[in-house]
Copies of this chain bind each other. A is one copy, B any other.
Amino acid sequence: MENSIAVVGSGLVGAVLAMSLKDRGFDVTVYDKSEDIRKVDFSGRSINLALSERGWKMLRKIGLEDSIREMAIPMFQRAIHTQDGKVNYQPYGINGESIWAVSRGNLNKKLVDLAEERGVKFAFQTPVWGVDLERGVLFSAEKESDQWDEIKHNLIFGADGAYSRVRLQMQKHSQFEYQQSYLTIGYKELIIPADVEGKHQLDKNSFHIWPRKDFMLIALANTDGSFTCTLFMPFEGEVSFNAIQNISDLNVFFDIYFPDAKTMMPDLEKLYFRNPVNSLVTMKCFPWIYGDKAALIGDAAHAVVPFYGQGLNAGLEDIDVLTHIFDGAENKDWKKILQKYQDIRKPNGDAIAELSYRNFQEMSELTADPMFLLRKRIETNFSKKYPELWLPLYDRVTFSGGTYLEALKIGDIQKEIMDEVMQIDRIEHIWNSPEIEEIMKRAIQCACKETRDKD
């Protein structure tokens, strides 16, 4: 079994990683504690995915782009629903780019199908309770308290998500840096069903947001005419999940804050009280690898909150980088390959965690503050005029091929410049003037030079 690799976790990243490794000649088995996802009704605790450029790049590489596009819906803009029922549209990407809504469950089923077709083996209902990292052994049993069986492989990938068991094993080793932190807001899934004709009740090519500062509702289209909605809100406090105790509380809350959405949700009461409130965790750790025996990938290595829509994209980019290193490696020495993978990806995992954490505020304040909107407009205008000088942060993260770390750094520089611009006297009147343009030009050129000199 010189050639055998275990992938723990049959989620999206696990399935794509398994296929990628199988394509490179390895004998790959995917382990998952859950039942075969193709046999279960998938629902209840998943924010719909937004696939963007990084994710597509990896899917393209593995020849799946076309088959996945078929089940995805492009979103060219944000549709901002204000409390008085108006809708404002903000295009994504300054060049008409789009992100793509796709159902996590359907995508996962499809990926498992495709992986199986290519010869990847799946061991479902095979929970991994422990790992012997030295020996490359997985321990499995029906229950954790049962006698464990040993399963030996040459290399183990932990693609087992934010609560990774492979990582838990690493955590027991000395010198393992680890941090997990939860937001005080949680989320709950809701549905806007198709209308009587089976059509979407809202524009399907928009990412719908009802931003209300400390909480927000979002909606992403499904191919069956429905929208998967997610309500993000504090667990505790005046306006919170905890404050909604009964149907009357719920109706009052939606009547005040989301009256337009409410009219499209006939099953609101049922869904609200049936679906759980889920948590949002940010997890950072180091190292991600153990010699030539194990590595973490995707959420297992860098669990992020969903506010940049980059969780899956970051995981797929991990595979992109890993396979790129593998393909370029002369003697296919996994120790060196994993080391390089970690060197490249760890700083970017941290960066997307940070960017995702910051973006909740940005998303939820989208309409609250006219100065915030003006700020965005100044940026967009300048960027259109000087695309080589200024790519807005969102575009850099979502549509560019640059690293997350670079995006974070340049984003901070841009933020500093915009903070100063917004302090300029009478900015709301002169924002579209050559004077402001000149200030921004000089500031960004100067900052870029400083950064270059430092590096």
A residues neighboring B (CB under 8 Å): 130, 139, 144-148, 150, 163, 168, 171-172, 174-182, 279, 281
Q: Name the contact of A147 in the complex, choosing from B145, B150, B180, B281 (C-beta under 8 A).
A: B145
Q: Which of B130, B150, B163, B178 contacts A144 (CB 8 A)?
A: B130
A124 to B379, CA, bound (A): 66
| Chain B residues whose C-beta falls within 8 Å of the C-beta of A172 in the assembled complex | 163
With A130-B145, A145-B148 in contact, is A181–B174 under 8 Å at CB? no
Give CA–CA (A147, B145) in the complex, Å: 6
Complex Cα spacing A298 to B403, Å:
42
Task: Say whether, besides A168-B168, A179-B179, A279 and B145 are in contact (CB < 8 Å).
Answer: no
Question: In the complex, are the beta carbons of B163 and A279 less than 8 A apart?
Answer: no
Contact across chains for A174 and B279 when beta carbons are under 8 A apart: yes
B182 touches A174 (CB 8 A): yes
Residues of chain B within 8 A of A281, CB atoms compared: 174
A138 to chain B, nearest CB (A): 11
| Residues of B with C-beta under 8 A to A175 | 182, 279
Q: Give A147's nearest chain B residue, CB to CB.
A: B147
Task: Check if A139 sits within 8 Å of B145, measured CB to CB.
Answer: yes
A119 CB, min distance to chain B CBs, angstroms: 30
CB distance from A184 to the nearest CB of B (A): 9
6 contacts between A and B (CB under 8 A): A130-B145, A145-B150, A147-B147, A174-B281, A177-B182, A179-B181
- List B contacts of A147 (CB < 8 A): 145-147
Select which of B139, B171, B177, B181 is within 8 A of A181 by beta carbon: B177
Contacting pair B180 A178 (CB below 8 A): yes
C-alpha gap A337/B163 in the complex (Å)? 31
Chain B residues with Cβ below 8 Å from A179 are 178-181
Docked Cα-Cα span, A46 to B163, in Å, equals 33
**5 other contacts beyond A139-B145, A178-B180, A178-B181, with CB at 8 A cut-off?**
A144-B148, A146-B148, A171-B180, A174-B279, A177-B181
Which residue in chain B gives the minimum CB-CB distance to A141? B145
Residues of B with C-beta under 8 A to A279: 174-175
How many whole Å from A88's CB to the nearest CB in chain B? 35
Least Cβ distance of A170 to chain B in Å?
A: 12
Closest residue on chain B to residue A284 by CB atoms:
B179
- Taking the closest CB of chain B, its distance from the CB of A305, in whole angstroms, is 14
User: Distance in Å from the Cβ of A194 to the closest Cβ of chain B?
Assistant: 33
Asked whether, in the complex, the Cβ of A176 is within 8 Å of the Cβ of B168, the reply is: no
In the bound assembly, the distance between CA atoms of A168 and B171 in angstroms comes to: 10
Q: Distance (Å) between the CB of A44 and the closest chain B CB?
A: 15
One of B150, B177, B180 near A176 (C-beta < 8 A):
B180
Q: Taking each of A148, A168, A175, A178, which has the highest tally of chain B beta carbons within 10 Å of its own beta carbon?
A: A175
User: A182 contacts which chain B residues (CB < 8 A)?
Assistant: 174-177
Nearest-neighbour CB distance to chain B for A188, whole angstroms, equals 14
- The smallest C-beta distance from A384 to any residue of chain B, in angstroms, reads 43
Residue of chain B at shortest CB distance from A168: B168
Given the complex of chains A and B, what is the CA–CA distance between A139 and B176 in angstroms?
Answer: 25
Chain B residues within an 8 Å CB radius of A177: 180-182
Report Cα–Cα, A180/B171, bound state, in Å. 9
A242 shortest CB reach to chain B, Å: 13
Contacts of A178 in B (CB 8 A): 178-181
A150 partner residues in chain B, CB cutoff 8 A: 145
Give the Cβ gap from A107 to chain B, nearest Cβ, in Å. Answer: 25
Question: In angstroms, how far is the closest chain B Cβ from the Cβ of A445?
Answer: 38
Q: Which residues of B contact A176 (CB under 8 A)?
A: 180, 182
Rounded to whole angstroms, the CA-CA distance of A177 and B183 in the bound complex is 10
| CB nearest neighbor in B for A281 | B174
Bound-state CA distance A401–B139 (Å) is 49
Q: How far is the CB of A134 from chain B (nearest CB, A)?
A: 14
Closest residue of chain B to A178, judged by CB?
Answer: B180
